[in-house]
Structure 1
Amino acid sequence: MSIAFLFPGQGSQRPGMLHELPAHPNVALTLDEASQLLGRNVLELDEEKILESTVSTQVAIYVAGVAMARALAAEGALPSAVAGLSVGAYAAATACGALAFRDGLRLVHLRASLMEQQFTTGYGLAAIVGLDEEQVSALVAKATTEEFPVYVGNLNAPRQIVVAGALPGVDRVVELALATGCKKAERLAVKVPSHCPLLQNVADVLVDKLKTLEPGTVRAQYMTNRRARPTRVLDRIREDFATNIAHPVRWHDSTQVLVELGTTLFVEMNPGTVLSKLTAEAFPQVTSIAMASTPLDNAARQIRDAMEVLD
């Protein structure tokens, strides 16, 4: 295994992100296909006001990731493995052949709509930087109540952890974390408590929709969100992206396993830059690039060179 494509999740969005995609035939085709399926111009979704919607944000992130992966594929630049953070898992599944674009767009739209409908106010996320999983788990256990539950969500790095839940519980964890002298603890601009049991009903709906998906042929290893394990088994991939919304995402563990399996190049798809920064910091011996800040031709050449070494 040599080249891993990384697909960012919610939080990576920014105004103009779809317009920033490179001028490439496969990007144009993807945007046109998305517009036809959505019944509206997908380029409208990256306007600042519209990105306040969870639905618009997640759909735009999915489309951007798939469009960039398709452009790279057309240039002969292919991954050995894919990994997607949260909603990024859907783009990762599409890139490896486990999920048709039409089905992925439909599922991401449904996922985001259910999240938005269920949590209109009073819930969210916070990032804790400088404490490890054991320390944050202890703070969560101290802060959570039946009325205001809070949970450990994303484990982005050994000392960069996201908590999710009712805002009073989330704020209590932030307060406790700051009192310990952690590097940083603050709420994130997300209105939904992603990756915790509060979203189990959303996961159940998505799992039920899996039986309606088109057949797929898996062409690369897919790293699971929940267990941080590689798989080429179609049903396991689909079960992972459908259910990850109700479970912690073990992101750092996923990238650690990829390095242990021989990854020498991490390539983060649009619109993100954070995932490649995390891998660069955690694994300085491995090259990490972000397509959002790298010319397509340069990146494609670098990936093809890595593929030749792999062969």
Structure 2
Amino acid sequence: MPTPPAGRCKTPLRIDAHQHFWRYRSEDYPWIGAGMDLLAQDRLPYQFQPLLEAQGLHASITVQARQGRDETAFLLEMARRDKRIAGIIGWEDLSAPDLAEQMERWGRHKLLGLRHQLQEHDDANTLLTPAPLDQGVRWLQERSYTLDVLAHERHLPQLRQFCARHDQHWVVLNHLGKPALKEFRKGRAAFERWRQELRELTAMPHVACKISGLLTEADWLRGLCTRDFEHIVQCLDTALDLFGPQRLMFGSDWPVCLLAASYSRVVTVVREWSATRLCPSDQDALWGESSARIYGLLT
């Protein structure tokens, strides 16, 4: 695992716990649509690492952005070449009968866990209840692999039931459950709905969360305004209140974040917020210690 630079050995490790790499082909990334030219190109470590270092961060966790075993192989190869990639969250079919064999073929080196995607589906039950899926998740948790979940707020009730069944290891909610920030401009109803759903999920101590992807949930096509940033701070405050710093992790969601703001802007929003809310030890948790512990980087 990367360590702070020489001469700064007492500096706490700083980790961006959620970012992506890809070699772009339109057929592989159908979710990259109109108005997303910044994403419709290769996004690789040589482009990202200078941004990471410029913000005083030492390492990142790279997360799958497409489904398929070739994605896991690609990310593991990136991690093998670059020591600043602390680990990857890959993709495998959690319901596959050969899940165990495939995971064993990948090996444990830098494969920290898998991600399960719900965001494109209206009915989360079809993706969270099949018996083979439960068997696969149990296998992962028994071996201390972390499960990331990409879900919208509409999926949180079903996700809560899923997490109640699977409590032997960490489940990590990505992007704070993707609150409907576009609707926040219309009044408090959308915010209160999201907060209530999130509150019930956070009652389970094995559920952690990444404060990532928030800027792109706002209306970035029209341009972010002061109210959008106020709503983002509301979400961050809610996350801190419900999860506490020991179950929160900073993630940039680079390069997807570039649709709404630069990498430095994404980091600055969270850095300025955390400086006014957290003591130094809790800031250390948010910026690296929590992700190192939850993803098993300290073992």
- Give the shorter-chain TM-score range: 0.3 to 0.5
Larger RCO (CA within 8 A; separation ≥ 6): 1
Q: Which has the higher helix share?
A: 1
| TM-score normalized with structure 1 length | 0.32
